[in-house]
Amino acid sequence: MAKRALRPLNPAAAERRRKAMHAVRQHMADGDLASAEAALRTLPAPLRGDPEAEFLRGILAEKRHRPAEAIEHARASLTAHEHPDAVALLARACRRAGHTEEALAACDRLDALKPDAATVLRAGTLEEAGRFDEAKAVLAPIVDKHAAEGTPLPMPVQVEWSKLLVQSKAYDEAIALIDETLDGLEPKADDLRRAQLHLKAKAADRAKRYDLAFESASAANDIGRLEFDPELYTTQVSALIENWSKEAMAGFPISSCDSELPVFIAGMPRSGTSLIDQIIDAHPQAAGVGELSSIEKFAYELSAAWDPGRGEGKQFGKYDAWRWTRQARDYVREIEGLAPDGAQRVVNKALGNNKLVGLLARLFPKTRIIHAIRDPRDVAISCFMGGFNNRLHPWTTRLDWASHAWQQSRRMMDHWKDSLDVQILDVHYERLVAQPEVEMPRIIDFLGLPWDSRCERFYESKRTVRTLSYDQVNRPLYSSSSGRHANYASHIRGIEFPPYDPWAGD
C-alpha cells in the first residue's frame, strides 16, 4: 500500500499537535480514557488524520475492547508511516477479533521492524487460535536457548510460554513459571498481574488443586475491583422491563426488514454460548460471527434519545421506523460480509444480548433467539475464575454478585418470552452436554435448517473463537464442567443461589 505523504506543519500547528498528543498519552497513562478521547478531539481538522493520532485512537479502541475500531485506526496510521507500534497494534487487534491469518500477516510485517516482539505476538496468536503445537515451535528455540545459558526468560516470553505449559498439561511447571512472572512484575502492572493470576487459577483448577485455584482467582479479582450494587442493578432491570413492556413496545417503531439471516444467542457468560455458536457454525448453511457490537451501539443511541414524555411513537425522537429499518438492513449487510457465501443463518452471541431482545425483535421481526442457560453455581464459579473485563462486568468478581446477576438475567429473559412474538429457544448447558444427540438437532431444527452431522464434529473447525472458552470449544464435547461448583463447595457455602433444575418439565 502506498504511503500517504505527510504535510509539513507550521510552528503553531506543530505546537498544538505536540500538546494534544502529550495530553492524550498522559491521560492514557492515568487510565482516564474519556479525557484522552476528549484531548484527541481538540486537534484541528487537518491534524485529525495524523498517523500518531490514528494510532492513539486505535490504542483507545483496544483498551475499550473494540477490536474492529482498533484495526481501522491502525490501518489508517500505517497508510502514512510503517511504525512498529502501529503494526503491533494491528496484529493484536486482528488477533483479538479472531482474524488469525491477518494477525499473522501483521506479525510478518513486524518481524522486519521488531523481530522479538513479532515472535511473541505470533506465538500468542497461534495459541489463541488453538494451534498449540505451532505456537510451541515458535517459542521453543528461545526457551531452549535461555535454559542452556541458565538465564531467565524475557517477561513477554514467560507469559506466552506459561499459557502453552497449561495447554500441554504441565500444570506444576506452568504454576512455577507464573509465580516467577508475578515476582518480577512492577507494582503498577495491574492488568498483567490480574491476567497471570487468572492463568494460575486455570492451571491449578485443571491440576485439581482447587483451593489454590480459588485463592489465585480471589487475588486476581481483588485487583481494581469495581463496586457492584445488586439493589441498583435490580432497579435498572425493573426500569428496562417497564420501559419495554408489551404495552409500551406496541407503540415503538418496527423495522420492515424481513430477513431471517440474523440469529442471536442471549444469556449469561459461561453458559455455553460459545459452544452453541460453534455447533451452529459447523453447519454448512449457517455461520457464527462472534460478538458484534453494532446493535449495542444503536441501543446506546436510542437510550440517549429516549424521552417517554414525547408520547406514543415519538419516544425515540428522530429514530423513527425508517431509521430502525436502515439499522437492521445495515446489520444484515454487515453479517453477510462476515459470513461465508450460502449462509442462511448467522449467529451473534454478544454478551449484552439478554438486555436487547426487545430491540432485536423490533429490528428483525423474523429473528430467532437462543437462550443459553446453565446452573447459576457453575456460572458464578466460571465467571469468578475466568478473568472478565471488570469494567463491563464488575459482578464477576464476587460469587454473590454473580448469583444476583444470573437471577436478573433470567428475569429479563422471562419478560421477553412473555412479551414478544419472536421465537426463543431455551438450551440448558447440562442437557446439551449430556444428550447432544437430542439437543444438537433440536437447535438446528429451531433455526429452520436440515440436520447435518458436521455439527457433531464442531471441534474440527479451524475457526478462531475469541472468548474465554477458546481452548475448550475446539475439542470434543465433554461433561466435566457440569456440576463444576462441587469442587468449590467450601467456597460457595452460605451464598444464596436461585433454584435451578435443567430437567424440570421432563
pLDDT in tens, the chain (506 residues): 445 555 566 787 778 778 888 888 899 888 888 899 888 887 776 666 788 889 999 999 998 888 888 999 999 999 988 999 999 999 999 998 888 999 999 999 999 999 999 999 999 999 988 899 999 999 999 999 999 999 999 999 999 999 999 999 999 999 999 999 999 999 888 989 999 999 999 999 999 999 999 999 999 999 988 899 999 999 999 999 999 999 999 999 999 999 999 999 999 999 999 999 999 999 999 999 988 888 999 999 999 999 988 877 788 999 999 999 999 999 999 999 989 999 999 999 998 999 999 999 999 999 999 999 999 999 999 999 988 766 778 999 999 999 999 999 999 999 999 999 999 999 999 999 999 999 999 999 999 999 999 999 998 876 665 554 555 555 566 666 788 999 999 999 999 999 999 998 66
Residues facing residue 286 across a β-bridge: 345
Q: Cβ(162)–Cβ(181) under 8 Å?
A: yes
CA 51 to chain centre: 27
Diameter of the chain measured on Cα atoms: 77
Residues facing residue 266 across a β-bridge: 371
Residues of the chain with CATH 1.25.40.10: 1-118
Supply the pLDDT for residue 65: 80
Rounded CA-CA distance 373/53 in Å is: 43
Sign of the torsion angle spanned by Cα atoms 101, 105, 106, 110: positive
Write the DSSP assignment of 89-152 as a string of letters. HHHHHHHHHT-HHHHHHHHHHHHTT-HHHHHHHHHHHHHHTT-HHHHHHHHHHHHHHHHHHT-P
Residue 462: all three cell numbers together: 479451524
What are the backbone angles phi and psi of residue 43, rounded to the nearest 5°?
-65, 135
Name the strands in the sheet holding 345-348, side by side, starting at the edge strand that comes first in the sequence. 286-288, 345-348, 262-267, 368-373, 423-428
Q: Enumerate residues 6+ apart whose C-beta is below 8 A from 331.
A: 262, 292, 294, 295, 363
Supply the pLDDT for residue 310: 83
Q: Cβ(406)–Cβ(498) under 8 Å?
A: yes
Q: Which amino acid is at 277?
A: D
Q: Enumerate residues 6+ apart whose C-beta is below 8 A from 373.
A: 267, 268, 271, 410, 426, 427, 428, 429, 502
Supply the pLDDT for residue 44: 72
Supply the pLDDT for residue 14: 77
Tell me: domain 230-492, CATH 3.40.50.720, correct?
no
C-alpha to C-alpha distances, 362 to 217, 249, 292, 413, nearest whole angstrom = 40, 8, 18, 16
Give the CATH architecture of domain 1-118. Alpha Horseshoe (1.25)
Q: Which of 425, 397, 413 is nearest to 224 (CA)?
A: 397
Supply the pLDDT for residue 46: 67
Supply the pLDDT for residue 505: 67
Rounded CA-CA distance 268/265 in Å is: 10
Q: Which amino acid is at 329?
A: R
Q: Where are the beta strands (DSSP E) in 383-482?
A: 423-428
Rounded CA-CA distance 66/294 in Å is: 11
Supply the pLDDT for residue 1: 41
Q: Enumerate residues 6+ apart whose C-beta is below 8 A from 271.
A: 372, 373, 374, 379, 429
Residues of the chain with CATH 3.40.50.300: 230-492
